[in-house]
Amino acid sequence: MNNTHCPQPDKKLFEQTVLPSLYILVFVVGLVLNVWGMKSLLHNWKKLWSINILVLNLGLADMLYLLTLPFLIAYYLTGSKWMFGDGFCKVTRFCFKLNLYGSIGFLTCISVYRYLAIVHPMKVKGRLTSTQCVVSSVMVWIFVSVQSIPDTLFPKHSENETEQCYDTTDLKNVEKYLHYSLSWTFIGFFIPFVITVGCYGHVTLVVCRSNTMKKERKQQVLKLMVLLLFLFSFCYAPYHVFKNLTLYSRVQFTRGVCPSWDSEVFIAHQASRGLVSLNSAINPLVYLNVNKHMSVQLKQLLHQGSQSFRRLFESRSSSTPVPQNEEEAVSPL
């Protein structure tokens, strides 16, 4: 059976409507929150130590991806026509990989840091220095760069469709890309996921059994745990599962086989692409859970905003004339 006879799912709804809409939302919300978060961190540069260095690098990874989103939005809104050249297409996809696996790497480092500070506080007292966090950050950047560079070696468009900018590669190279994707799914996602779950599983036991830790501190630790597990299970896991299933489906096409589940997997994969992009808008919540100053600052901003809105509403209400009698209430014909 020729793969051209396989029924093709309708891509227009997702690629021209759903994805651009999600990308616009992520770009606006993610840009505002990350700029605010990084500005707050840099404003207190002298107090920037240990875990805050990891959070700052997490923000840099998000910004790297967010700045490429306008080009992807234009790409999908124009019916998947890439107008910025093949080189920049690869740069855009490379930035996505750096953001994805950089975020996973820094979140994993934060999990390990929390684990050591809470479960083994006496053993690591005075040893979790800023220098170690800087070294860890550099290692994460090097690791994810080495991991992402092979992606740029794969063609991002088919021979007949030079205006395309695939997030994976063309059919001719899809089997090799599947092997690459599976290997880095295991190394770049699954292993960090296991480490994060293991760290916070132990942390949860220690926090719940502790009689000396303050209630506020317990809530802060548990909130961060829930947030990180949410990111891994809601944003990262579906993307890796359905991306690899989609690649496997395309490999089947090249072998003349039409998988009966291809349309369902395609829909799930498109949805997961939108979900994984949300990590850049959700990651700033990590700032609030590791930096008490920023959490207080956000509450003050929200309080000031609500007061300003209330004053504006009251001023408009007081400026509206109130009819004094029925004749004034009825407008003349």
Residue range 53-76: mean pLDDT, rounded: 92
Is residue 332 assigned to a domain?
no
Cα 260 to Cα 220: distance, rounded to the nearest angstrom:
46
Is residue 322 assigned to a domain?
no
Q: How many domains does the chain have?
A: 1
Residue range 243-267: mean pLDDT, rounded: 89
Cα 277 to Cα 229: distance, rounded to the nearest angstrom:
16
The domain in which residue 175 lies consists of 3-291
State the pLDDT confidence band at 291, using cuts at 50, 70 and 90.
low
What's the pLDDT score for residue 33? 87
State the pLDDT confidence band at 298, using cuts at 50, 70 and 90.
low
Q: Which residue has the higher pLDDT, 217 or 244?
A: 244
Is residue 329 assigned to a domain?
no
How high is the mean pLDDT of the chain? 83
Is residue 46 assigned to a domain?
yes
Is residue 270 assigned to a domain?
yes
Q: Can you give the CATH number for the domain in which 127 is found?
A: 1.20.1070.10
Is residue 301 assigned to a domain?
no
Residues 113-158 pLDDT 10s: 888 888 888 887 777 788 888 899 999 999 999 999 999 999 998 8
Is residue 315 assigned to a domain?
no
Is residue 307 assigned to a domain?
no
Residues 302-324 pLDDT 10s: 555 556 656 666 666 665 554 55
Residues 177-218 pLDDT 10s: 999 999 999 999 999 999 999 998 888 888 888 887 787 777
Record the pTM.
Answer: 0.84
